[in-house]
Amino acid sequence: MRSLSIKILLVGSGGREDAIATKLQESGAEIYAAMGNRNPSILRYSRASLIARETDWDKILNFAILNKVDLAFIGPDPVLATPLVDSLTDKGVPTASPSMNAARIETDKIFMRNLLEKHGVAGGVLNKSFTSEKECTEWISSYQKDFVVKPRGLTGGKGVRVMGDHFSSSQEGLNYALDIIKKDGSVLIEEKLVGEEFSLQAFTDGTTLTGMPLAQDYKRAYEGDTGPNTGGMGSITDSDHLLPFIDRKSRDDAFNILKQVSIALRNEGYPFRGIMYGQFMLTQSGVRLIEINARFADPEGINVLSILQDSLVDILFGVANGNLSSRINFLKKATVLRYVVPIGYGSQPKPGRLSIDPLKDKSTKMYYAAVNGSLSSIEMTSSRSIAIVGIAESIPDAAKKVDAASSLVHGEYYMRRDIGTAEMLARKMARFRH
């Protein structure tokens, strides 16, 4: 473990960043936090803080230089679309996050699909991008299968719409696609995949790629995977670092896709250093790539960070300096995460205040997200508020720990209680067997 004097800039103020901050302070770092809200948990770990819009990259750059940080790490995806990482690198600050060009695998979905096709990366899907309303109309009118409509840029997990889930006819999908072209100038249309989704995250220094436990997240607001898309209501991991419905071969296929993406970016002159996070679907024809992201997932990143055994400081220095270890250790435990959110989150959120009692069970963790206030009394915003994580031998047992810990949160809020339950897993396994 490194010296206690290591200064690390952490950008972000959500539950994911609180989990990162927790691991950094456990590794002996001094945290210099740049946050969009006054997250009370990150503040308690921070030597100094800057409260500003997280995309005000020049303010954050000056904050980092003023405090002479030794390393920087970026949490939220919108920040990766700014010149912050490149500017920190130019100033000689090692940064364990991708450059603006490398981060385009997330910030520009059309760039990502074109990169995969150019380099013959496995797991691709049928896709077409359009800038012309006329060409888009003609193509969709002739396409006889279900499809997905994706804005080109970042949408916070809420902009992608799927036929059968978010619209019921080709005409509705076309109307949405045309609205995106009018607003953004382009749109991406993809074939609809059918199967079981899963997430694989990996640390990479541009050459070495080291995978993390598989995870599955749940974006739909309501139980039974219904309702509007959200930034994520919760997620699970299993004790064998696979999932009950995702086998070792499928995990290895997904990992090989991430390796191919890393090689493609390096060959393009944009070596990727940071967290590469792939969202995949296991279909009848094998593992297919839905999208790639350029940072820890939220919530899935919180699950894996909660069981990370090695020093996150050492890992991030390895990422930034090109000497990442090929083996990183995680507890052989299952995790379940559920988010506490305002009533109406995903449509018309009604934020209020919550009071929180201290945790006593060490196998349960609580991370603060888009909130202000103190550790015992928070003011909610319109976004997610508290991530509760249970850690146990099995997924259902971890879910029970979340149930118990939720009694420590007082006030009006909503939580998806079905995530990680034995009933949910049984339904998934029945579908998987067929």
Q: Locate the domains of the chain by residue range.
A: 7-99, 126-191, 196-433
- Compute the C-alpha angle 9/11/17, nearest 5°: 105
β-pairing, 274-283 vs 286-293, is antiparallel
Backbone angle region of 255, left / alpha / beta, with phi > 0 → left and psi within -120 to 50 → alpha: alpha
User: What values do phi and psi take at 72, rounded to 5?
Assistant: -125, 150
Tell me whether the CATH fold assigned to 7-99 matches the one assigned to 126-191: no
For domain 7-99, give its CATH number from 2.60.40.1080, 3.40.190.10, 3.40.50.300, 3.40.50.20.
3.40.50.20
Bridge partners (DSSP) listed for residue 355: 377, 410
Topology at the third CATH level for domain 126-191 = Dna Ligase; domain 1 (3.30.1490)
Q: Are 333 and 307 in contact (CB under 8 A)?
A: yes
Q: Are 170 and 133 in contact (CB under 8 A)?
A: no
Task: Classify residue 314 by its DSSP letter.
Answer: H
Q: How far apart, in whole angstroms, are the C-alpha atoms of residue 421 and residue 375?
A: 28
Q: Which residues of the chain have pLDDT under 50?
A: 1-3
Task: Classify residue 195 by its DSSP letter.
Answer: S
Q: Are 317 and 274 in contact (CB under 8 A)?
A: no
Q: How far apart, in whole angstroms, are the C-alpha atoms of residue 46 and residue 34?
A: 10
What distance lies between CA 250 and its chain's CA centroid? 20
Task: Classify residue 102 by its DSSP letter.
Answer: T
Task: Classify residue 359 by its DSSP letter.
Answer: P
What is the domain class of 196-433 according to CATH?
A: alpha beta
Question: Given the structure tokens 């600050």, which residue do they identify?
Answer: 93
Amino acid, single-letter form, for residue 345: Y
pLDDT for res 3: 45
Q: How far apart, in whole angstroms, are the C-alpha atoms of residue 45 and residue 40?
A: 9
Cα-Cα end-to-end distance for the chain: 48
- What lies within 8 Å, CB to CB, of 285 at 6+ separation is none
β-pairing, 7-11 vs 71-74, is parallel
Q: How far apart, in whole angstroms, are the C-alpha atoms of residue 152 and residue 256?
A: 25
User: What values do phi and psi take at 66, rounded to 5?
Assistant: -60, -40
